[in-house]
Amino acid sequence: MKTKPVFVYKGDALTKYNFGQEHPFGPERHAAFHDKLERLSLGASLHIAPPSRATVDQLALFHTSSYIDLVSRASEDGKGFLDHGDTPAFIGVFEAASDVVGTTLAAIDAIMHGQAHRAFSPIGGLHHARRDKAGGFCVFNDCGVAIHYLRENYGIQRILYVDIDAHHGDGVFYDFEDDAELLFADIHQDGNTLYPGTGASNETGIGDAVNTKINLSLPPGATDNEFTEAWSQVENYVMDNPPEFIILQCGADSLAGDPITQLMLTEASHRMAASSLCQMADRYCKGRVLGLGGGGYNLLNIAKAWTQVIEAFVVDPKS
Ligand SMILES: [Zn+2]
């Protein structure tokens, strides 16, 4: 049987989610990735799909209505910050952030309806936004909305969220900290040395969810060797906790040369992690993997890391 394509999302609506030329999360990130993706000439293995906008009801699966209203108002005048100084408001930020979330949900639909082999939204993975506030360049947390959406629309409970962005995925971790069925594995730069300062190894969940999640810190300067060691713990964790759906937040800011972090990985770590998850997805959950780009502020690294993830998604691990 011919393998279905990998869906990758592209469109002007997604390009609008940026904070200007002077900001690390600037407007060039999209093109840097798509230009390199086109050069790979993946042919029929790849399907470029358009963005989609989330409804307010969908945003409210994760976010509080007062926070949704706050972003909506800030979007009209575009002034000030949505958090304490990292995430500026801009005119249209509500729509742009809703497009990021809606596109992540469209990617889930494409996987669950059997159209896509796997799917990737380069501008998704906004893992710092909390239910009631923005943080770290993240306005709406598409990862958090996606988890509730999978449960409500598809009855999928045991979702594995894996995060290899240099920053800890605090917006996912803390809002599902007491949820034993949200499987969570995060490899990041030590929170003592980087925003948001969280993700210590003793943070394993609370209440009924104690010991159901893993946080693995790498010291500044860590390379592919340290990542590979940490990854073996993620593999053991996944084998002990078979998921029904896998979300990979594959921030490219963990590669050497990122201007705001100090990890020294190469794109080989992203390839290895994505291949490993695809193999486990094929074994445990009908191959269902959704990739979300996340951070990354060195354009070359974005292109290298994310295209390695796409290649891993395209290649059938059984072949
Ligand atoms: Zn990051």
Query: pLDDT tens digits for 79-116?
Result: 999 988 899 999 999 999 999 999 999 999 999 999 99
Express each pLDDT in 281-298 by its tens digit: 999 999 999 999 999 999
Ligand 1 centroid from CA 2, angstroms? 36
Cα–ligand 1 centroid distance for 117 (angstroms) = 27
Cα of 155 from ligand 1 centre, angstroms: 30
Mean pLDDT of 54-63: 98
Q: Compute the distance between CA of residue 40 and CA of residue 36 in angstroms, rounded to an integer.
A: 7
pLDDT band at 316 (very low <50, low <70, confident <90, very high): low
- Report cis status (omega within 30 of 0) of the bond before 27: no
Classify 225 as helix, strand or coil. Answer: helix
| Tokens 């005119």 sit on residue | 91
151 CA distance to ligand 1 centroid (A)? 26
For β-strands 245-249 and 46-49, DSSP reports them as unpaired
Give residue-wise pLDDT tens across range 233-266.
999 999 999 999 999 999 999 999 999 999 999 9
- Extract the tokens encoding 58: 């969908």
Ligand 1 mean position, distance from CA 216 (Å): 15
- Closest C-alpha to 179, from 198, 157, 203: 157
Instruction: Tell how strand 213-218 and strand 159-163 pair up.
Output: unpaired
Taking the whole predicted model, whether its pTM rises above 0.85 is answered as yes
Assess whether pLDDT exceeds 90 at residue 140.
yes
User: How far is ligand 1, taken at its centre, from the CA of residue 251, in Å?
Assistant: 6
Domains of the chain: 6-314 (3.40.800.20)
Average pLDDT in the 48-73 region? 98
Residue 213 per-residue DSSP state = E
Whether residue 219 is preceded by a cis peptide bond, meaning omega within 30 degrees of 0, is no
Per-residue pLDDT, 1: 47
**Confidence label for 3 from pLDDT (cuts 50, 70 and 90):** confident
Q: How far is the CA of 215 from the centre of ligand 1 (A)?
A: 15
DSSP run (H or E) holding 159? strand 159-163
Question: Ligand 1 centre and the CA of 194: distance in Å?
Answer: 10
